[in-house]
Every structure is written in C-alpha cells, then in structure tokens.
Structure 1
Amino acid sequence: MSSSLIAMGVAIFLVINLVVGLAGLSLLFGTFETLFGKPKLTLLRSTKSGNFFAFGFKWNSAKEPAALDTIRIRLFNPFGSPTQVEVSKPFDAKKTSFATEVDMGPGFIDLLGAKNFDLAMVQIEVVSSTDGVVFQFDMKGPKFKKLVTEAHLTVDQFVADHKLDVVKKSQPPIDVPIRSFIADTVPGKGSQLAIATNPAFAAQFGGAAAGGAAAAGGAAAPAAENFKIAKVWIEPGCIVCNACEDIYKEVFEVLADTCIIRPGAPLDDGLRIQEAAEACPVEVIKFTKAS
C-alpha cells in the first residue's frame, strides 16, 4: 500500500514538473517573440521641410507577407481641440523592411499643434491596402511629439544601419543569338544543318525528304560524308534548351541546370553531333574529329 502511494506521489511530482517546464518554455518563447519577433516602428528625422513624416519599419515579411503602402496617423484628444485628427497618405509599396519619408499634408501640422496635446493619444498604422494587413502602434501624445522632434536618425542612416539597401545581384542575361533551324548557313562556320528539311542532306534522311526535294524541281545534293568524333564536351553556359538531346539523346543528357555527355556515348556519328553543336543557341557544345 505504501509503495503504491509513493509511486503515485512520484508520478504526480513528475507531471507537475512537466507542466511547469512547458509553461516556462512557452513564456520564454513568448519573451523572445516580444523582444525580437514583433514588428518595430522607428520614427526618424525628416530631411525635407514642410509636412514630411519619416519612419522606418521592420517586420518578419516571411511570416506576415504584405505589400505595405499606406501610413495613417490618428490623434484622439478628448480634452483638447481638435478632438480628433486623422492624416493618411500612400507611398510606394514595400514587401520587406524599409524606411521612407511621406508628405502627410497640412493636416499633420494641425495634429502636432492640437491644444492639450499632452493629454492626447496617438495611433499610427502601417497598412497594406491590397492585402488588408494593418500594423498598429499606440502611444501617448508627449512621447509621439518627443520622438518626432528629437529623432536623430535619417532614412538613409536607418537603411544603412539595418542593411536594407543590400540587393542580391542577379545573373547577367544570356545573349542568345537568333538562329534558324531550317538549312541556314551558320555564321562563321560555312556549313549547313544536317536536318531533313535541308535539301543538301535530303538523301541522308530517307526517301520522303528526297522525294520532296525532287518534287520541288531540284536534284538532291550528295549526302555529306560522315566522320567519327574523338572527343565531345560541354562548356559552361548551358541554358538547358533541350535542343541537343532532341537531336541526339544517345549522346546528350539535359539535367536541371546543365547538359552532360552520357557515359559510353557513341561517337561514330559525327554529323549528328555536329548538328547538335550547330543547333546550340549558346554554342557550348564542342568536339574534335577523330584523325
């Protein structure tokens, strides 16, 4: 009996410790979320005269995707005059953390000059008009005015400090020459594509092509003499267009980001390998003839 009570007591103790531990972890993660994960609004010093309002905004755009495009400032002033002011202005949509200056218009000066501003509340909203997302920040009037008038960081400094102006360099576009795949001479090579629609190679592709050439009133040229290849390889720059594999799949294999020569590929049909090389729009297929 006593051993059963002891076992029950130990079990209850372990359960209590587990619950307390989970609660502690939840509180810890909540603290981290509060300190580091919440959206943050920073009021900045405007470098422009007039009614400009400068601010920086950071948020987890991967967790809360939105195209933010509007800043809205509301004054709630029940003990002063005017009792309520709202100014709202759009800006260029931002999909990641940013800093900007917005001309809020004359209403912004009226807001800052309201009577009994020290007893008022200010609400700032950063809004996505397209996604329906609103980030809201509330503060007392004196704090808002102090942040606006005593801000020292400019938009440029905020962007630099938070590395918001770092843009990933994109790969330069590939200049793909325009080529015809119908019996045109390849510039600089003096040869023609060995394809069925080219009368010069009609005999090589069987009677249908040859008959077509004869019907057109021209005699088919003698078939080009085939040759063997000593080596074929792919240089960097493949755009995976599949042209080579379509022509000679026993030799060429197109992968996700490049092309390779198949192991044990046959190298006795030099004309088809040459055709694939000449059909390559970026000219990365190279070969040498067997001596």
Structure 2
Amino acid sequence: MNTTMIAMGVAVLAGVGLVVTLGVLSLLSGGLHFLFARPRVEILKSEKGETGFAFGFKWNAAREPAKFNRIKLRLFNPFGSPTQVEKTVEFSPKSTNFAEDFDMAEAMKQILECDRLDDALLEIEVMASKEGVTHYFSMKVRKFLEKVKSATQTAAEFNEANKVDNSKPVYTIPSRSFIADPLPASNKALKIATNPEFAGQFQSADASAAPQENFAVSKVWIEDGCIVCNACEGIFPEVFEVTDDTCLIRDGAPLDDGLKILEAAEACPTEVIKFNKVG
C-alpha cells in the first residue's frame, strides 16, 4: 500500500513538473518574441521632398503570414492646431520586410507645421487588408519630427539590406555510367570454341567423339517431388505433360527415343523422372 501511494505521489509530482515546465517555456518564448521579434516601424529618409514620408516595416513573416498593403498616418492634437490629420496610402502587397516612400502632400505639411509638439500624438498604422491584420505604432510628434530629420537610410537602401534570397541551391550530380572501363591490354586468350584461334582444336575433339546410340524405353514414371518447371515437356512434349501440381506421362507416349527421355531426365532439377531401358 505504501509503495503504491509513493508511486502515485511521484507520478503526480512529475506531471505537475511537466506542466509547469511547459508553461515557463511558453512564457519565455512569448517574452523573447515580444522583446526581439515584434513588428516595428523605422522612419527613413524620404526622396519625395519636404512632404515625403518614408518608412520601413519589419515583422516575423513565418509567425504571422500576411501581405501588408496599406499605411495610415493619423495626427491627434486636441490642444493645438490642426487638431486632427489623417492620410491613408495603399501600395502593392508585401509578404516580407519592406520599405516604401510616398508623397503625403498636404497631410505631411500639416503634421510638420503643427504646434504643441509635446502634446500632439502621431499614430502610424500598417495594415494587411485581406487578412484583417493591423499593427499600431504611436509617438509624440516632436519625436517623430526628430526621427524624420535624423534619418539617413532611404527606402531603396532598406529594401536592399533586407532583400530575401529566394534562389534555389544548385547541386552538382556526378556523372555515372554502368559501362565498365575497358580491360587492360593482354597477350592472353581464352581457350574456348568460339575463339577462332582454338577452333581447330575443338573441332578435332568433337570429331573423335563417338555418337551415342539411341535406345528404346520400356517404362517411364515420375516420382514425388516434381516442381512443375516444364523442362521435361519443353524437351519431349509427346511423352511428358506438366499440370498445375505435377507431371504426367501421356497415354500412348512414344518410348522408342530413349536419348530424348534421358535428356529430359538429366534436365529435371529434382531428378524425379525415372525410366527403364528395353532388355
């Protein structure tokens, strides 16, 4: 009983420890993302003149796949003039870090000329209209104007620095051949009948061999162990008939060609063809 209770206690503690560990890891991951990977806007140097506005936008596209295509500048200045300015610009959808440079015309002019800079607030909204994703960034107008004045990087330079390389790696496959390299030259030759150099020797040997006399057979039979390989029927189909599971001797089979029956018996891999010669 005590052992069972101890085992259950250890199991419960292990489960609680696992849950706590997963929770801590989740919180740590979220904290790191908030500190280092959250979306951010950079104020850049505009090439559109005094009323130009250039910005760069970075975010974790793998964690938040979206195509951003709209930016809005909104001025809140309830104690000064102008009290409110709003300007929205759309551009081609961007799915990775990007920068844009626009002429904001009268809206930018009003923001640059507004008073009570320490009370006025500028809000920047970057939107992906199709996915319904919007990121908000706000700062005092004085700080915004300081960033505009001190910016040195242009939108083109930002895009070049954050360009994504989509080129595919090139793998070189070594060439292989199934044709063997030629054998080294040699003065040796194979002594075989097909080699013209030794053809005469094989012909004389064949000529000296006496032909085997044919004979008649009184009985042919098949013992157990036939593997229905069809070798015998291929040699002497008038005598042998191979079925699905064995071999049979045909009725009225000619038994006067003993050499052919002998050839079939010697070709049988299981040696189950037997016969008796006449006499």
Normalised to the residue count of structure 2, the TM-score between the two structures is: 0.51
The equivalent residue for 1:159 is 159
> Which residue pairs with 1:148 in the alignment?
148
Matches within 5 A, 1:114-193: 114-164=114-164, 166=165, 168=167
| CA apart distance, 1:3 | 6.3
**In structure 2, distance between residues paired with 1:124 and 1:39:** 12
Percent of aligned pairs sharing the same letter: 45
Match of 1:112 in 2: 112
1:99 maps to a residue whose letter is A
Counterpart AA for 2:152: H
Paired residue type of 2:103: D
- Please tell me whether the aligned partners of residues 120 and 140 of structure 2 are also in contact (alpha carbons under 8 angstroms): yes
Contact 1:118/1:141 (8 A) holds in 2: yes
CA deviations on 1:14-49 (whole Å, 9 max, x unpaired) are 344323312210112112322444322211111331
1:143/1:13 Cα in 2 relative to 1: closer, same or farther (>3 Å)? Answer: farther
Alignment partner of 1:117: what SS?
coil
Structure 2 distance, partners of 1:121, 1:10, is 57
> Aligned partner of 2:133: which letter?
V
Structure 2: where are the runs of 5+ without partners? 169-279
CA contact (8 A) 1:68 1:94 kept: yes
Q: Conserved in 2, the CA contact under 8 Å of 1:51 and 1:108?
A: yes
Aligned equivalent of 1:20: 20
Shift of 1:115: 1.6
Letter in 2 for 1:117: L
Letter in 2 for 1:73: L
Q: 1:89 corresponds to which letter in structure 2?
A: V
What letter matches 2:137 in structure 1? F
Q: In 2 relative to 1, CA 167–47 (structure 1 residues): closer, same or farther, beyond 3 Å?
A: farther
CA distance in 1, matches of 2:114, 2:143: 15
For 2:57, give the aligned amino acid: F
Give the deviation of 1:75 after TM superposition: 1.4
1:69 matched to 2:33? no
RMSD of aligned C-alpha atoms? 3.1
2:40 aligns to what? 40
Structure 1 position 74, deviation (Å): 0.8
Question: C-alpha separation between the residues in 2 aligned to 1:142 and 1:65?
Answer: 33
Answer with 1 or 2: which has the greater Rg. 2
How far, CA to CA, are the matches of 1:25 and 1:34 in structure 2?
A: 14
**Secondary structure class of the residue paired with 2:118:** helix
In the other structure, the counterpart of 1:233 is none
Give the secondary structure class of the aligned counterpart of 2:114. coil
- Which runs of structure 2 are paired with 1:257-272 in the superposition (5 Å)? none
Give the distance between the partners of 2:159 and 2:166, measured in 1 at CA.
12
One-letter identity of the residue aligned with 1:121:
L
Distance in 2 (alpha carbons) for counterparts of 1:88 and 1:82: 17
Question: What residue is the counterpart of 2:247 in the other structure?
Answer: none
- TM-score norm. by structure 1 comes to 0.50
CA deviation vs aligned residue, 1:158-208 (integer Å, no higher than 9, x gap): 1222235x5648xxxxxxxxxxxxxxxxxxxxxxxxxxxxxxxxxxxxxxx
Structure 1: tracts of 5 or more residues without a match:
170-291
Any conservation in 2 of the 1:91–1:102 contact (CA below 8 Å)?
Answer: no
Q: Distance in 1 between matches of 2:9 and 2:142?
A: 57
Counting matched residue pairs gives 170
For 1:99, the equivalent position in structure 2 comes to 99
Letter of the structure 1 residue corresponding to residue 21 of structure 2 = G
Instruction: Give the Cα separation in 1 of the matches to 2:152 and 2:60.
Output: 25
Cα displacement string for residues 83-112 of structure 1 (whole angstroms, at most 9, x for unaligned residues)? 221111223332332112011111112123
